[in-house]
Amino acid sequence: MTAAQVAHHRASTVEFRNVTKRYEAGAKDTPGAVNDLSLEVPAGRICVLVGPSGCGKTTSLKMVNRLIEPTSGQILIDGQDAADRDVIELRRGIGYVIQQVGLFPHQTIGENVVTVPRLLGWSRARQQERAEELLALVGLEPATYRDRYPSQLSGGERQRVGVARALAADPPIMLMDEPFGAVDPIVRERLQNEFLRLQEELAKTILFVTHDIDEAIKMGDLVAVMQTGGILAQFAEPAEILASPASEFVARFVGADRGLKRMSLSRVSDLELRRPITAKVGDVCSDARRRALADSFAYLLLVDEANRPVGWIGEDEIPTEGRLTESMGESMSPLMDRRTTLKDALSMLLDADVQAGIVVDRTGAVIGLVTADMIADWMRMTAVEPDFDSSEAPHPERTEVVEA
């Protein structure tokens, strides 16, 4: 499937304008209230609503497709008030993914994914074609999965089907309510990565709800931190929220490990890579040895014909005569690419024999090196100290951040 088939880059802006939702006091099991929420999500961006339980994030989301009607205020989609649109037609134009997925147990996976096209009255042939496209898009082999029922799938597979179903009619907006909350951490991470890759092609406007700040920072182009009572505490890019939290609440919610989180936002491509001293298998030893000794780094990187890493040779172990052979490159160090986060890179380096990560391109050829010192320098360079002391001394009124 090519990107052109899937993506028409249809996306809408979504704007909350002074949106308030109140519930009667004493009413049971009501979702969180929302207090005068104003924010604008530009077309094609992911906005994550994050906060403790009862902060009104899910309420805010459900007001966009009018599963919940606001008490006051407006939600504008491409400038038009959602309240003025036919509610059924509005919902068919908005993809909706929920934590429990909510697949129809009585329908096959193929039927499930084309739910909205079916409601819209597409022809059978077009529905079928679309079902195959969508399953392939989310990484499920259509021939294998099309005729199965939801009960025959794993949690992660079901969640993929949920995403495929939400994308079926190519809606300009997607609402995702803890979409990866019900799967184990390993599957969650894979689904998150796949979804981000998909979004690069699709460029939908996405509102994404989570209680997990790490997920918010990872998934969001913009993050709206909400606090109990439905108050917007900060609305900014993830890096800004980590570097300069707007209030104590935000700082506490983000956590004391802000620095580590910032590293998970930045990638190897943000660093200026170090150039390694390399030599090809078959090169003359004496020449390679001379070049390695001239450099401050104590190792020579042995590469093959295609410039792919073979292994490290300590500069003292390079023979003085003869030619380099493949067996000389004994120790290896972690391979990473430009998209590897600094957090992952550092973690890989801490475990490695030679503390330099080898950055390779798509073909596996060496581009450069990353060392732990380079990461530490970069962190120092980019840090912004908040103008209040947030995480050191326990605050007298400190309230626990509840992770629902």
- Binding stretches for other proteins (CB under 8 A): 65, 67, 88-92, 94, 96, 98-107, 115-116, 119, 148-149, 151-152, 165, 175
Q: How far is CA 398 from CA 166, 212, 387, 391, 401, in A?
A: 40, 19, 19, 11, 9
DSSP state of 331: B
Q: Which is nearer to other proteins, 64 or 288 (CB)?
A: 64
Q: Which is nearer to other proteins, 96 or 249 (CB)?
A: 96
Alpha carbon dihedral 130, 133, 136, 142, in 10-degree steps, equals: 50
Q: Tell me how many helices (H) and strands (E) the chain has.
A: 16, 16
- One-letter amino acid for residue 115 of the chain: T
SS3 34: strand
Q: Which is nearer to other proteins, 101 or 263 (CB)?
A: 101
14-21 and 34-41 beta bridge pairing = antiparallel
Q: Which is nearer to other proteins, 89 or 403 (CB)?
A: 89
DSSP state of 30: P
Tell me how far, at minimum, the Cβ of 208 lies from other proteins, in Å.
15
- One-letter amino acid for residue 65 of the chain: N
Q: How far apart are CA 246 and CA 230, in angstroms?
A: 16
Q: Which is nearer to other proteins, 171 or 276 (CB)?
A: 171
Tell me how far, at minimum, the Cβ of 100 lies from other proteins, in Å.
4
Tell me how far, at minimum, the Cβ of 85 lies from other proteins, in Å.
11
The first and second tokens of residue 90, run together, are 């509005």
Tell me how far, at minimum, the Cβ of 228 lies from other proteins, in Å.
24
Q: How far apart are CA 95 and CA 97, in angstroms?
A: 7
Tell me how far, at minimum, the Cβ of 179 lies from other proteins, in Å.
12
Q: Is the CB of residue 160 less than 8 Å from the CB of residue 140?
A: yes
Tell me how far, at minimum, the Cβ of 379 lies from other proteins, in Å.
42
Q: Which is nearer to other proteins, 135 or 263 (CB)?
A: 135
DSSP state of 77: E
CA-nearest of 106, 135, 110 to 124 is 110
Tell me how far, at minimum, the Cβ of 87 lies from other proteins, in Å.
8
Q: Which is nearer to other proteins, 92 or 338 (CB)?
A: 92
Q: Which is nearer to other proteins, 100 or 269 (CB)?
A: 100
219-222 long-range Cβ contacts below 8 angstroms, 24+ apart: 219/46, 219/48, 219/192, 219/195, 220/46, 220/47, 220/48, 220/50, 221/45, 221/46, 221/47, 222/41, 222/45, 222/46, 222/47, 222/48
Q: Which is nearer to other proteins, 175 or 369 (CB)?
A: 175
Tell me how far, at minimum, the Cβ of 166 lies from other proteins, in Å.
8
Q: Measured at the alpha carbon of residue 49, what is the angle toward residues 8 and 56, in degrees to the nearest 5?
A: 130
Q: How far is CA 103 from CA 91, 93, 163, 398, in A?
A: 17, 18, 11, 41
CA-nearest of 55, 358, 41 to 233 is 55
Q: Which is nearer to other proteins, 162 or 245 (CB)?
A: 162
Tell me how far, at minimum, the Cβ of 119 lies from other proteins, in Å.
6
Within 10 angstroms of residue 90's Cβ, the number of other Cβ atoms is 18
Tell me how far, at minimum, the Cβ of 168 lies from other proteins, in Å.
9
